[in-house]
Structure 1
Amino acid sequence: MASRTWLITGANSGFGRHLSEQLLSRGDRVVGTFRAPGSVDELSARWPDAFRPARLDLTDPAGITAVVDAAWAALGRIDVVVSNAGYGLMGAAEELTDDQVVHQIATNLTGSIRLIRAALPHLRRQGGGRILQLSSVGGQAAWPGGSLYHATKWGVEGFADALAGEVAPFGIGVTIVEPGSARTNFRYGGSVLAERIEAYDGTPAAGIRRILTERTTEGIGDPALMATAMIASVDRDPAPRRLVLGSDAYQAIEQALTARLEDLHTQREPARATDAPPEGVTISGPADLDA
């Protein structure tokens, strides 16, 4: 198989680190972004010719464009863009500060959108490529105590789902990756816990606070195996729209979708009851957008 060139955000830790190491070990080239100085020095030392580090803060729009443009200018072609960087903001919605809300959205949602939009002109000009957008089981299911994190993941899934149809004519595939809990630093190093409001003690929203403070649980998923599955998905044609990783993710998503369908089915007739009566005029609805 011919080697590929990848752009991976958050290459310094978690899935980004596992992806980078596996890809570099097999002979691919990687442009890996990071925030903390020194966090990718080992990758640069081990693969000086194949790894290109790029410091990037996803809340910096000009920085995103500069990094993406520089990567294409230096390497000529990038086959796969992995929008991976992000973090979890946990706590009841009322416990969050306005600044925390803004930063979470700017990083996980707006930053991902800006990264992909910056890459699209390059991908179109080169005749195609692949985009992997990291979401989460939390992009299909939601739990108390993670409202803003879920908002970003549900948002980015909607963006990527629609994007896939927009860019398919240009040979660009889009895959939304939905991992469950994994043994990375996300839970105890990559998550921010909001200040406690006592009124929420003993409520469902307090569950995530207990997990993050007691540190007695770990994820079920193997991040190295999950990274391997992400890499393998790039060989599939057409691109899979979603890639569920981990038995816990599969179970939670299945339960969430089943519950939503059951609720939807109870509303079939009430929904029809709100239609305007026919008057000989063609009515346009969401289904017409697929025509």
Structure 2
Amino acid sequence: MATDTWFITGVNSGFGRELAEQLLSRGGRVAGTVRREGSVDDLRATYGDRFWVAHLDITDLPRVREVVDAAFRDLGRIDVVVINAGYGLFGAAEELSDEQVVHQISTNLLGSVQTARAALPHLRAQGGGRLIQISSVAGLAAHAGASLYHASKWGCEGFMEALAQEVAPFNIGVTLVEPGGARTAFARGSLQLSEPLSAYDGTPAAFVRQFKTPAPPTLGGDPAKIAARIIDSAAQQPAPMRMVLGSDSYQAVTTALRNRLAQVEPQQATAAETDADDT
């Protein structure tokens, strides 16, 4: 599907930018959205009509539908819709402001939900397609200091897993991408921190503060390799429900799932004790 048409939110940086560049270089068409106008003028100059771009604040839900409708109208068939726009809000839950909480959920969760909902009528009408949600290892494994980021990503996970079952009859595949830490500009441009409370100094939640130091931790994921795997996945049938990318992601996800099973499995007998007597 590399030469088909893709719609990608947030193409100005990170995975969105990498996906757009690779797809365009392979001869495909890309419809992309940006929050900062002018941030992809170089791609427009290089690829011309093969790169369609619109300004979009993903928290503006009516505008999301307008942009998606316009992309399908202008380009005709769009084969793959990638829901990528988002950012990370880190800090202990108590440290976050009400405004930060609302904006994180509005961007990462509600923006993703609305993008998928806006695309579905078009994908159904054309007989199918693919929805790819850029989630995170944080969608399956939780750590102190990222509670609201986890809330947004875990919400996407539940929505997309259920949605996959709803739209399978229409030949629409759904994939959740679970990358670990990658060498993008995330720590510089797409990460926000709460105002620290001294009560959390030295606690597990404080580990996130290192991401705003002059030399943030070195991460292991290669954005180009991650983008290439995402592109290749669009040709897989059936669509993979989840793609775990990065050895750090695999380790964290498998550990979290094993721990969850270890918490639940010993409760088989006590769980049954609350069944009605006539079941």
Q: TM-score, normalised by structure 1?
A: 0.94
Instruction: Output the CA distance in 2 between the equivalents of 1:269 and 1:173.
Output: 37
Q: Which amino acid aligns with 1:210?
A: Q
Partner of 1:169: 169
Note the alpha carbon deviations across 1:102-145, whole angstroms, 9 max, x for none. Answer: 00000000000000000000000000000000100000000000
Instruction: Output the CA distance in 2 between the equivalents of 1:216 and 1:4.
Output: 37
- The answer to whether structure 1 residue 221 and structure 2 residue 250 are counterparts is no
Instruction: Output the CA distance in 2 between the equivalents of 1:3 and 1:147.
Output: 39
Q: Return 5+ residue gaps in structure 2 as ranges.
A: none
Partner of 2:79: 79
Partner of 1:232: 232
Partner of 1:43: 43
Q: How many residues align?
A: 279
Does the Cα contact within 8 Å between 1:93 and 1:145 map onto a contact in 2?
yes
Q: TM-score, normalised by structure 2?
A: 0.98
- The answer to whether structure 1 residue 111 and structure 2 residue 111 are counterparts is yes
Instruction: Output the CA distance in 2 between the equivalents of 1:212 and 1:246.
Output: 22
Partner of 2:208: 208
- Cα deviation for residue 220 of structure 1 reads 0.4
Instruction: Output the CA distance in 2 between the equivalents of 1:187 and 1:230.
Output: 22
Runs of 4+ in 1 over 4 A off after TM superposition: none
Instruction: Output the CA distance in 2 between the equivalents of 1:243 and 1:249.
Output: 10
Partner of 1:30: 30
Partner of 1:286: none
Q: Any residues of structure 2 matched to 1:113-132 within 5 Å, and which?
A: 113-132=113-132
Note the alpha carbon deviations across 1:74-95, whole angstroms, 9 max, x for none. Answer: 0111000000000000000000
- Cα deviation for residue 216 of structure 1 reads 3.5
User: What percent identity do the matched residue pairs reach?
Assistant: 61
Give the CA RMSD over aligned residues: 1.1
Instruction: Output the CA distance in 1 between the equivalents of 2:118 and 2:52.
Output: 18
Q: Return 5+ residue gaps in structure 1 as ranges.
A: 284-291
Instruction: Output the CA distance in 1 between the equivalents of 2:214 and 2:160.
Output: 35
Q: Which amino acid aligns with 1:170?
A: F
- Cα deviation for residue 274 of structure 1 reads 1.1
Partner of 2:270: 270
- Cα deviation for residue 267 of structure 1 reads 1.1
